Structure 1
């Protein structure tokens, strides 16, 4: 590599640090980190591919890329989540019988979002490979109507994360590779609700942020036979010490809360059927059950029960299958793909809320890649998520229940996702 190319490469890799802007999306955990695997419903995302975005799930795939490469991914998330109110009672009295009470519809809580991601890989020698990723692995933006029958439980919700992960991979031989990495993650949360049921109720806002929380990532890539790959990836839990404010109307006080975001394990397989056709699959487990109740403390270290963060999620699971085909005989450099997946949400009726009315969902995806020349390639992926209709029942036993207002409703949701990426080999 010439001195000029080294300088250009270093400049592009450095730029990756600054091109991932703030991202919010209509789900708490964000899977949309790859345009190529978006078109496969993320089947096989932990195995080696032309895209280097696989290092997000399995850093060992960094060993499949020679030279120096950079990739930029941009996903556009278009959610729809209609929440209909069935009944609301306050101390046993129907909301509609209380003078001045807000009885409006909650409406569509989904907010459109842009989710960027950036990647870089560098082959140091025949055995050592370096990688770097900047992503937003967690995000949430929901916004019900401000004046609504459910306002005491949610007016808006925002979660932001920015994660930088340097990693190193070792290629032991043609069969085994492994890698480890360090996660450095910024996390911010802003939750708003109404102070009461009246149409004139003020807004209660809980805002917290953590400078940086740390975790790890690790992966293994196995090639037992030519054309067969097995990838195993791990992303560790990350603890965030959130400092912020609790605002009620014009008054505010400093608060502190500790959150632990869950670890994830994924297993992927890729099987070459012919030189042009590949079949893929992925199973993913996320330990959301560690995401239970989190106390909020004031600056004197006293617990604020009215601000407690209650979730009580269950574990989350994801399963997908897909296939891709190279159309080199017809269009040189063109690959098409499709995938089908099913996601078991960690949220069920026992803890589903207006803030995050998540349900189980079916993924249907398609996409394509085009290799413009030996250096520049493009990916495009599309998914439609069919979310199952389900109920919201906030009452005794629900982690968000305030002891007074019982809310019952239902949610119907769907999501469209479009992802595009380009990558360059120096």
Structure 2
């Protein structure tokens, strides 16, 4: 019992540390994060699961732990700078313009941590145990609360923090297999404005039309009744944009997943690695929905639609996608090495998120309509001396979004990576690495529609830079 209690405290502390740091926008497709290694960043994550001497393989491909030397601890931190500036306008369902500005810069600068521990054991150290703390998914955008697209989203924050235990077995110096199990804590925090004027007006029209039809009226009479109800609601102050409310949805869940991998060395100095990370389905059953409703709207809703727009618990299922990676590393000579990576992520499973409330509130639906994506990179390392190694890389990173479905919460676009880095090894026990990536992006369009059929149309100016540092200590 004491051991279980201690493990629980350590797990909670680890999640807490990562959660305090991991407030970021993703710099891989959508809200996927590759930033788990300064070395990997410096070569655009080419050779991410096949290159020698990078403890991040504990999380991405445990089979490659045989490429690590002895017992070691590695800590990485990546500072992600992401910018998303909107230019455009919005209109209510009746065509009237939506007031408000462009929302400011929805991006931010934030750190993303990673930590690894490797312990070889067994005969000739042919077995390996490793633990890791990583942030494989993370995202945050936040606009001014009164911006023109407020009905489609104001704040969007998602964090997935993984704590894993990994094991691998070396069949011989050329073949190894590995697996890991990870506990993943997902935190979600979403906010948006509510166009209560439109919602109440539309509800009154529907009820008036239904009453007219029930009384034997014609469709024309039903339409006239709806029009009259709309005029009455407008006179009471309930027209589009006249009574804005606010909604905040929060939830968290811990679920488990796994990673499998194998690493082959057909000839000395050449590694080929295959790895698979499972999807993780988070069923959030005890989320919280908090509504802020104008007083005049609250009184009318209590009388006409009891049980709606009130604070309640909520439920939602969010599936974070599976991914598969093929990684290649080749040592040309004592100075030069080449690397390459290709990853495929099953984003098409992330179609939409539906929030169900314990009250009479209709479901909230967040449509994403993502497609599967490919990430491909090439990189190189140059060992300048016994103590200094230089590296660089290029990558193509496909977005799962399209112009037809891109929304304001995740204004993502495909991007190209240019990466540089170096490692300094002052002693046999310690080494220090830095990596830098600049992202080249196009300006994506968006056409978002809110639950009350309010439109926001425009274009984003997006950009990103990543700077990472790490320390590795062998003991």
**Residue 407 of structure 1 pairs with residue 456 of structure 2:** yes
**Residue 118 of structure 1 pairs with residue 175 of structure 2:** no
**Residue 316 of structure 1 pairs with residue 370 of structure 2:** no
CA contact (8 A) 2:53 2:69 kept: no
The 2-side partners of 1:35 and 1:304 are apart by: 46
Q: CA deviation at 1:258?
A: 1.3
Which residue matches 2:340? 281
Which residue matches 2:146? 147
Q: CA deviation at 1:231?
A: 0.9
CA contact (8 A) 1:83 1:409 kept: yes
Q: Which has the larger radius of gyration?
A: 2
- The equivalent position to 1:334 in structure 2, one of 388, 392, 399, is 388
Q: CA deviation at 1:304?
A: 3.2
CA contact (8 A) 1:296 1:304 kept: no
- The equivalent position to 2:429 in structure 1, one of 347, 364, 375, is 375
Q: CA deviation at 1:16?
A: 6.7
Which residue matches 2:353? 294
Which residue matches 2:470? 421
The 1-side partners of 2:378 and 2:109 are apart by: 27
Which residue matches 1:43? 46
**Residue 343 of structure 1 pairs with residue 397 of structure 2:** yes
The 2-side partners of 1:367 and 1:303 are apart by: 52
1 or 2, which has the higher helix percentage?
2
CA displacement, residues 237-290 of structure 1 (integer Å, 9 cap, x when unaligned): 111111211111164110011111110101110111111100111001110100
Distance 1:204 1:15, change over 3 A: closer
- TM-score for both structures, normalised by structure 2: 0.80
State how 1:162-311 maps to structure 2 within 5 Å.
162-196=161-195, 198=241, 201-210=244-253, 212-242=254-284, 243-249=286-292, 251-299=310-358, 304-305=362-363, 307-311=364-368
The 1-side partners of 2:47 and 2:361 are apart by: 45
SS in structure 1 at match of 2:39 = helix
**Residue 160 of structure 1 pairs with residue 171 of structure 2:** no
SS in structure 1 at match of 2:40 = helix
SS in structure 2 at match of 1:416 = strand
Distance 1:381 1:294, change over 3 A: same
Which residue matches 2:91? 89
Q: CA deviation at 1:392?
A: 0.3
CA contact (8 A) 2:63 2:263 kept: yes
Which residue matches 1:20? 18
**Residue 389 of structure 1 pairs with residue 448 of structure 2:** no
CA contact (8 A) 1:66 1:122 kept: no
1 or 2, which has the higher strand percentage?
1
The 1-side partners of 2:118 and 2:446 are apart by: 45
Distance 1:309 1:14, change over 3 A: closer
SS in structure 1 at match of 2:18 = coil
Distance 1:199 1:25, change over 3 A: farther
Unaligned runs of 5+ in 2: 1-9, 196-239, 294-309
CA contact (8 A) 2:54 2:68 kept: no
The 1-side partners of 2:402 and 2:451 are apart by: 19
- Farther-moved stretch of structure 1 (35-44 vs 63-72): 63-72
Unaligned runs of 5+ in 1: 1-11, 96-100, 396-400
SS in structure 2 at match of 1:146 = coil
Which residue matches 1:398? none
Q: CA deviation at 1:146?
A: 1.4
CA contact (8 A) 2:51 2:339 kept: no
CA contact (8 A) 1:20 1:118 kept: no
SS in structure 1 at match of 2:58 = helix
The 1-side partners of 2:404 and 2:58 are apart by: 35
Which residue matches 1:98? none
Q: CA deviation at 1:18?
A: 6.9
The 2-side partners of 1:271 and 1:318 are apart by: 20
Distance 1:422 1:15, change over 3 A: farther
RMSD: 2.1
SS in structure 2 at match of 1:350 = coil
Report the count of equivalent residues: 398
SS in structure 2 at match of 1:195 = strand
The 1-side partners of 2:275 and 2:165 are apart by: 15
CA contact (8 A) 1:175 1:222 kept: yes
- TM-score for both structures, normalised by structure 1: 0.89
